[in-house]
């Protein structure tokens, strides 16, 4: 098997961080080569070097045996290299065809033959099983389809070295399955693929080889068939990892959160939550699953008091909470772990100890007659920091900004859990965290449930929903599709429900 890409000792530094520390790897013709690593390991940087987005500080690249200098993405295109980025780069008011030919239109007074282009795109789509309509508007097609447009964009430019950067992060399980088939079609036709991912199961399902990088360094390249998920995880993290969360049976108690027929409008007055009702009981974790952007954000904002409902009721511990302010809801027993910890979880330019009392600074133990009692605040912050293993290097006085993502999240978790809430709403609580921190956060959430709290978990990661939830509620297009017991369902069913199909239809 021929080698199509050789990256040799690639080094790329950013101010203060070595993103790629002399990494070498090669891509064989017709293979799917996974690049595995935790968040921040350097995967995207390495592939961006190959795509000409970054220039390496040192090292060399050979494409089909010839040493090349890839000055920019156009140069990469000319070498037959294409990349599908984590965030798509499509113009939503253009059609599929217009997006694909964007940048390739013939100049010098010639007309663009859009009709011909559309035909060629249709042929490519058929050949690889992409099922894309060349005339559809980007704004009208699903995220999964938009991704296929990005794939067609590469194919239309005759790329045969394809880079996918975390392509499944935005897909439902069914779409993931279809993407897997598409990738297999591509390699069957002789294309070669670099697949960036941090999902072990996907690697086992489709890749032939896997290169693991950790903190910018090459850890190893293995044949996937010979490596178990445990082995790959250990290579990725640098130590053995325990899979799954240990969870005892629960006996749910009374309802802590009840919502009835909730209707909420989002930006621009568009209906985003359309008549949702459910409850969360003491001693249970209710997981809310759904594809991003189906009303989760508006629902959560309404529950925590950042947004008002148009209609419907919210009850916390049997008391009307829909009209309460944020502070009153906190007093009623609500705690909140937001998905955007930088924007909503912490004030980055405040110290850790100041962040610890953001929701309680007005209480008597921290303030008397409007004056903050810094001795009490520091003692309290230090207790939370040590209870929740928050590592800052500079103790309670460190600026929140200087902590790693995992430690920032532990700090938020500490603040929210230490408030001893009845109801904990956790949104994407492990987003962007490394495996160690994920384990920790999961353990703490289960602990809360076991101690009789009601936990509402909102997550886009189905693995997380399944690992933690006692019941799973599925939201699609602002409606509650259904609620099922976790031990009576599987990813396939939840995935179908995420597309809006009710259980009776799924079964
Ligand atoms: N444009 C940039 N400027 C500064 N630092 C960057 C830039 N891009 C990435 N980094 C840093 O380089 C490291 C590797 O990032 P990245 O390649 O995006 O990791 P991955 O894709 O594996 O999550 C991280 O520490 C990240 O913060
Ligand atoms: Mg990345």
- Beta-carbon contacts of residue 353 (< 8 Å; ≥ 6 apart): 377, 378, 380, 381, 382, 396, 397
Strands 319-320 and 311-316: antiparallel
- For residues 459-473, give the mean pLDDT: 94
pLDDT tens for each residue of 322-345: 999 999 999 999 999 998 888 889
Ligand 1 close to Cβ of residue 86 (< 6 A): no
Ligand 1 close to Cβ of residue 19 (< 6 A): yes
- Ligand 1 pocket test: which of 34, 39, 40 has the largest number of ligand atoms within 8 Å of its C-beta? 40
Token readout for 259 is 């919502």
Per-residue pLDDT at 107 exceeds 70: no
Q: Closest ligand to 41 CA?
A: 1
Cα–Cα dist 338/326, whole Å: 14
Would you place residue 506 in the very low, low, confident or very high pLDDT band (cuts 50, 70, 90)?
A: low
Cα–Cα dist 471/462, whole Å: 13
Closest protein CA for atom 14 of ligand 1? 42
Alpha carbon of 492 to ligand 2 centroid (Å) = 27
Closest protein CA for atom 17 of ligand 1? 42
Chain centroid to CA 408 = 17
Q: Give Rg (Cα) of the chain.
A: 25
3-state per-residue secondary structure call for 316-360: ECCEECCCCCHHHHHHCCEEEECCCHHHHHCCCCCEHHHHHCCCC
Q: Which structural domains are found in the chain, ordered by start?
A: 3-237 (3.40.50.300), 245-333+422-507 (3.40.50.300), 341-420 (no CATH)
Alpha carbon of 43 to ligand 1 centroid (Å) = 8
Cα–Cα dist 281/258, whole Å: 9
Q: What's the pTM?
A: 0.74
Cα–Cα dist 382/93, whole Å: 52
Q: Which atom of ligand 1 is nearest to the CA of 37?
A: 22
- Beta-carbon contacts of residue 305 (< 8 Å; ≥ 6 apart): 324, 325, 326, 328, 329
pLDDT tens for each residue of 19-70: 999 999 999 999 999 999 987 899 999 999 999 999 999 999 999 999 999 9
pLDDT tens for each residue of 64-98: 999 999 999 999 999 999 999 987 889 989 999 99
- For residues 354-361, give the mean pLDDT: 90
Angle value at C-alpha 491, between 490 and 497, nearest 5 degrees: 95
Cα–Cα dist 14/27, whole Å: 25
Cα–Cα dist 39/19, whole Å: 11
Ligand 1 close to Cβ of residue 102 (< 6 A): no
């Amino acid at each position: 098997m021929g080698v199509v890409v050789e990256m040799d000792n690639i080094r790329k530094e950013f101010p203060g961080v070595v993103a790629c520390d002399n990494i070498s790897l090669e891509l064989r013709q017709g293979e799917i080569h996974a690049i595995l690593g935790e968040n921040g390991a350097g995967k995207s940087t390495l592939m961006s070097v190959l795509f000409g987005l970054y220039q390496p500080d040192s090292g060399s690249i050979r494409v089909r045996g010839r040493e090349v200098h890839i000055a920019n993405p156009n140069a990469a295109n000319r070498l037959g290299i294409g990349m599908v980025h984590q965030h798509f780069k499509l113009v939503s008011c253009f059609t599929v065809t217009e997006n694909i030919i964007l940048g390739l239109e013939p100049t010098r007074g010639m007309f663009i033959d859009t009709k011909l282009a559309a035909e060629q795109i249709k042929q490519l789509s058929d050949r690889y099983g992409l099922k894309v309509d060349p005339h559809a508007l980007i704004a009208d097609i699903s995220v999964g389809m938009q991704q296929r447009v990005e794939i067609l964009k590469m194919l239309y430019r005759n790329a045969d070295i394809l880079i996918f950067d975390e392509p499944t992060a935005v897909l439902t399980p069914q779409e993931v399955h279809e993407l897997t088939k598409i990738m297999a079609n591509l390699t069957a036709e002789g294309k070669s693929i670099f697949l960036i991912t941090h999902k072990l199961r996907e690697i086992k399902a489709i890749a032939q080889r896997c290169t693991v990088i950790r903190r910018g360094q090459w850890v190893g390249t293995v044949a996937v068939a010979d490596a178990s998920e445990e082995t790959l995880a250990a290579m990725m993290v640098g130590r053995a990892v325990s899979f799954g969360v240990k969870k005892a049976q629960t006996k749910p108690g009374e309802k802590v959160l009840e919502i009835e027929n909730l209707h909420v409008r989002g930006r621009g007055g568009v209906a985003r939550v359309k008549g949702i009702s459910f409850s969360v009981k003491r001693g249970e974790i209710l997981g809310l699953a759904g594809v991003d952007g189906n009303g989760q954000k508006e629902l959560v904002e309404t529950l925590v008091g950042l947004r008002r409902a148009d209609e419907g009721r919210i009850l916390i511990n049997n008391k009307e909470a829909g009209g309460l302010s944020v502070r009153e809801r906190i007093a009623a027993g609500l705690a909140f772990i937001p998905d955007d910890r930088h924007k909503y979880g912490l004030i980055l330019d405040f110290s850790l100890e100041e962040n610890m009392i953001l929701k309680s600074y007005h209480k008597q133990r921290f303030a008397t007659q409007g004056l903050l009692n810094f001795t009490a605040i520091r003692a309290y912050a230090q207790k939370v920091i040590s209870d929740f293993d928050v590592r800052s290097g500079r103790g309670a006085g460190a600026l929140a900004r200087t902590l790693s993502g995992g430690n920032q999240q532990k700090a938020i978790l500490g603040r929210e859990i230490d408030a001893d809430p009845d109801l904990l709403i956790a949104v994407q609580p492990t987003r962007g965290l490394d495996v160690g921190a994920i384990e920790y956060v999961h353990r703490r959430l289960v602990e809360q449930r076991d101690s009789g709290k009601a936990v509402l978990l909102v997550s886009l990661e189905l693995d997380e929903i399944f690992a933690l939830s006692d019941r799973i509620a599925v939201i699609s297009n602002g409606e509650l599709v259904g609620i099922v017991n976790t031990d009576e369902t599987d990813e396939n069913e939840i995935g179908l429900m995420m597309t809006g199909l009710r259980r009776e239809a799924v079964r």
